[in-house]
Amino acid sequence: MRVMKWSMIALAVSAGTSQFAMASAQDDSKGFVEDSTFSINTRALYFSRDFRNNPSGPGSKSRAEETGLGFNALYESGFTQGTIGVGVDVIGLMGLKLDSGKGRAGTGLFPTGSDGRSQDDYSKGGGAVKFRISNTVLKVGDQYTTAPVFASDDSRLLPELPQGISITSNEIKGLKLEGGHFTSSVAQNQTYHDSLGLTKTDFVGGVYSFTPEVTGSLYYAKTEDYFRKYYSNLNWTHALSDDQSFALDFNIYDTKSDGAGLQRAEKDGVTKLDNRAFSLQGAYTIGAHTFTLAAQKVTGDGDYGYGVDGGGSVFLANSVARSDFNAEGEKSYQARYDINMATFGIPGLSFMTRYVTGSGANTATTSNGKEWERDIEAKYVVQSGPAKNLSLRLRQATYRSGDGVYYGSPSIDELRLIANYPLNIL
């Protein structure tokens, strides 16, 4: 991984320097107020999980079912004019409980009190100061992250909100470089500082467009006293005709215990992280139809390492609605079908179904843990009028595992009804 990492970066930089640098974004700045934007995304979410083989006993549940309304407000100022532009971002998040109950709490939508009930409402927020020179932006404070080795999760009512320093540079055409130093993160369903218990994480990497059809990325991350991680991606998309295309996408993570985390693992005799998780996905599109096949494998010691906090996202083909299919030794395969109804005169309407099966997982109870998941989704996006961009989505997931011990969850039937309404005020 080290050789590939540095050789690809060298290739990207040498190719990029042969091109003219892009026009400076800072030179085009209109001002702090003039370039400001303000948006509010409203999300209504009904979330239901029916646990099929939950162990009986005190505290066990057969069902979790809640409904909430979330508001995600984001103000992004422009940059002051001059060589160094200065600006601010302000984030405001609020969640409201619409329906719940003590026996149905635990969906991850809301904070839960000592009595086992979900809070009626909760809010959080923050802000960041940002500086721009040419096409490079430095940001300090609360901010969402999208790097494949440190991406904030937005799978519930409100997103995770990390705190730290980031830098993003687009000085060379086709090349994006970024890095970050993060010390805390607010969980999706919590309000207090560092509720994820984040261990200090640093990352650096970038994405380069070799051609209009081929892009590649390389990242390195280090979570203090826990692990170091490499990530690489290669994506190729090719148009076969006006209504046909083919795409290949390859992802790989290389994770290894490091520092005090490695010492603790060796001392306590527990599994240390030293694994590779990789996936290859191919998609063929013809007209309204897209057919996708994917294969994924984890080799080495330990499950894929999310981090001490367990938060964040993973960029693997078989990371789907319920499971990520990334236990130690696990191999998994996916078949997926998408249809875009715009071809049939209904723009904005689409359907998706997929099936993923995994086997060969090494767990505390077996050397051949098995799981499977079937997902069905229908989505409609309003195309015009006052409700333009309002999206309505129905997601149903059926997940089965031989034993809840395998993957930390019993088998479930899950249903999500999601309405998102993004409103741009400025």
CA distance 249 to 215: 10
The 8-class DSSP code of residue 104 comes to: T
Q: Which residues, other chains included, contact 7 with Cβ-Cβ below 8 Å and sequence gap of 6+?
A: none
Tokens of 127: 């802000």
Distances (CA, A) of 222 to 133, 229, 422: 27, 6, 35
- 204 bridge partner residues: 179, 220
The DSSP code for 195 is T
Q: Is 313 one of the catalytic residues?
A: yes
Which one-letter amino acid corresponds to residue 19? Q
Helix (H) or strand (E) holding 92: strand 84-99
36 is annotated as an active-site residue:
no
Half-sphere exposure of 73 (CA within 13 A, CB side): 14
Nearest to 311 by CA among 155, 181, 163, 172: 155
Distance CA 147, CA 315 (A): 10
Phi, psi of 346 (to 5 degrees): -125, 75
Distance of CA 113 to CAs 105, 118, 119, 195, 241, Å? 10, 6, 7, 15, 57
**Cα(276)–Cα(289) distance, integer angstroms:** 33
Rounded to whole angstroms, the Cα distance separating 136 from 344 reads: 44
Q: Are 178 and 204 in contact (CB under 8 A)?
A: yes
181 is catalytic: yes
The catalytically annotated residue of 313, 319, 323, 411 is 313
Of the residues 154, 225, 403, 413, only one is catalytic, namely 225
Q: Which of 153, 154, 181, 359 is catalytic?
A: 181
For the four alpha carbons of 98, 102, 104 and 105, in that order, the dihedral sign comes to positive
Strands (E), 104-226: 121-133, 136-142, 146-147, 150-151, 161-172, 175-186, 201-209, 214-223
Of 193, 109, 219, give the one whose Cα is nearest residue 154: 109
> In angstroms, rounded to a whole number, what is the distance separating the alpha carbons of residues 417 and 158?
15
50 and 409 in contact (C-beta within 8 Å)?
no
Question: Active-site residues: which are they?
Answer: 181, 225, 313
